[in-house]
Amino acid sequence: MNEDEWNGAVIESLSEEWAEKIIFLPECGSTNDEAQKLALKGAADFSVVLTETQTSGRGRRGQPWTCPPGEGMACSVILRPDDPPALWSRIALATGLAVSEALDSFGCSSGVKWPNDVWINEQKVCGILVEAGDGFVVVGIGLNVNVTCFPEGLAFPATSLALEVGTPVSREDVLVACLNRLRVRVAQIGSSFPELLEAWEMRCVLRGKEVSLMEGDKLKRGTVLGLSPGGELILATSSGRESLLQASEIRVIGE
């Protein structure tokens, strides 16, 4: 499928409301960067920047993210939450859950890895990058839909939806499913957050696992107990029970 077909198929697959929100760029450096520019110019809530090719795609901590043309899904969603900025960090959890739930409709069971990855059979299928601006949030989603070959040297083993279900999957249908579930879950970062957390915990791939992670420049090791009411990771370490708001390089020990 070439770029024009991807764009046309997306528009035909979406309702009129969604179709009006899609900004398609055949190629760009980063959909998050483009979405931020549009947000600063006043782009509406749930505007979506979609591309076929990213030349400077990135994940958390600036790590590169590749999206093979015709095989992956790279998009960024502009959000303008009514909830206070103090709650916007919860959008990462909401997005991971939304993507995982969207994959259900394709016959694929997936889980969420705190704070914002989606895994299938202990392999990464989706990375999410949430960046806040003045009055808006940009949510970048990089999803391996029909990818069949991955570069060497990845931080974590990777897979794709097509590899897991054994057949190519419509990227248009995947995009629609993700956007629909994202709208539902982002609406729950405020008073309905306990409901979101309950659903998230049911898909948590780290619960009960012994992990190592970096909190700032400190290496920590412990057993994941779950999430706090505020969405922090609860870790049982040698020094006691700890709640972590942010961490990186989370690895399961012994796997």
Indicate if 241 and 197 belong to the same structural domain: no
Which burial class, exposed, middle or buried, applies to 246 when counting CB atoms under 10 A from its CB (0-12, 13-18, 19+)?
A: middle
Indicate if 61 and 131 belong to the same structural domain: yes
Q: What is the CATH number of the domain that holds 98?
A: 3.30.930.10
Indicate if 226 and 103 belong to the same structural domain: no
* Residue 124, domain extent: 3-202
pLDDT at 104 (0 to 100)? 95
Q: Does the pLDDT of residue 2 top 60, yes or no?
A: no
Indicate if 137 and 223 belong to the same structural domain: no
**pTM value?**
0.90
Task: State the pLDDT confidence band at 216, using cuts at 50, 70 and 90.
Answer: confident
Indicate if 155 and 233 belong to the same structural domain: no
pLDDT at 155 (0 to 100)? 62
Q: What is the CATH number of the domain that holds 223?
A: 2.30.30.100
pLDDT at 49 (0 to 100)? 95
Domain count, the chain: 2
Indicate if 221 and 108 belong to the same structural domain: no
Tokens of 25: 């760029």
pLDDT digits (tens, 9 = 90+) for 148-204: 888 766 667 889 999 999 999 999 889 989 999 999 999 999 999 999 999 999 999
The answer to whether residues 73 and 174 touch, using CB atoms and an 8 Å cutoff, is yes
Query: Which position has the higher pLDDT, 91 or 172?
Result: 91
Task: Indicate the Cα dihedral angle 96, 99, 101, 106, nearest 10°.
Answer: -150
Indicate if 25 and 146 belong to the same structural domain: yes
Indicate if 131 and 191 belong to the same structural domain: yes
Q: Where are the alpha helices (DSSP H) in 25-123?
A: 31-40, 91-104
